[in-house]
């Protein structure tokens, strides 16, 4: 009888245990587009600080999360391109950081408030669970953040490489590793 009670207590405690997330291994992703063929160029930011907490549900975890991104840490896998993105895009409008806060999350849909260039805007995103990670995806329009000056600068700087076209929509995302099966 004691074995059944002990097993029941262990099962109950594991059912209600907090989820564990690895924010130090979380990533912010982006993909911008060039040329009229809309060729994507993507990457991450090496310094994106998440401030999540363990939670009872993934929705609770997500709505407690904030992200601060150091724009000088942009990483496309090409050091020359990264330097150009910093100097001819982010620095043109003096953008050192981008912040985001997940306002709501339910049924694989989230509203994420992004603050860039002094403009805050809620952006709809979707999220799924893939290979032990929460993966979020969405799209921003640079004009919504008054970033057309930076867009024009990068288009001018990279005119030949971009064949005269740099798109103003940018895919954004995040990946947060999950320790427990919390979904």
Domains, the chain, with CATH or none: 18-177 (2.40.128.110)
Please report the pLDDT score of residue 107 as a whole number.
93
Please report the pLDDT score of residue 2 as a whole number.
37
**Closest to 123 in 3D by CA, of 140, 137, 147:** 140
Structure tokens at 30: 């982006």
CA 10, 14, 16, 22 torsion-angle sign: positive
Please report the pLDDT score of residue 65 as a whole number.
85
Please report the pLDDT score of residue 5 as a whole number.
31
Low-confidence ranges of the chain (pLDDT < 70): 1-23, 52-54, 179-183
Rounded distance between C-alpha atoms, residue 149 and residue 13, angstroms: 54
Please report the pLDDT score of residue 3 as a whole number.
35
Q: For residue 31, what is the enclosing H or E element?
A: strand 27-34
Structure tokens at 153: 């600068």
Please report the pLDDT score of residue 173 as a whole number.
97
Please report the pLDDT score of residue 18 as a whole number.
62
């Amino acid at each position: 009888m004691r074995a059944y009670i002990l097993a029941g207590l262990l099962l109950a405690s594991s059912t209600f245990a907090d989820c564990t997330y690895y924010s130090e291994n979380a990533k912010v992703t982006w993909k911008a587009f060039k040329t009229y063929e809309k060729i994507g160029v993507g990457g991450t930011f090496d310094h994106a600080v998440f401030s999540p907490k363990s939670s009872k549900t993934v929705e609770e975890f997500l709505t407690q999360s904030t992200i601060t991104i150091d724009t000088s840490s942009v990483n496309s896998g090409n050091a020359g391109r990264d330097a150009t993105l910093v100097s001819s895009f982010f620095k043109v409008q003096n953008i050192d950081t981008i912040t985001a806060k997940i306002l709501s999350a339910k049924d694989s849909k989230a509203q994420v408030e992004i603050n860039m260039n002094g403009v805050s805007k809620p952006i709809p995103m979707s999220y799924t669970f893939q290979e032990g990670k929460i993966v979020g995806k969405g799209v921003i329009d640079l004009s919504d953040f008054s970033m057309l000056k930076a867009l024009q600068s990068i288009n001018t700087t990279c005119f030949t490489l971009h064949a005269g076209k740099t798109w103003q929509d940018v895919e954004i995302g995040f990946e947060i590793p999950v320790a427990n099966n919390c979904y």
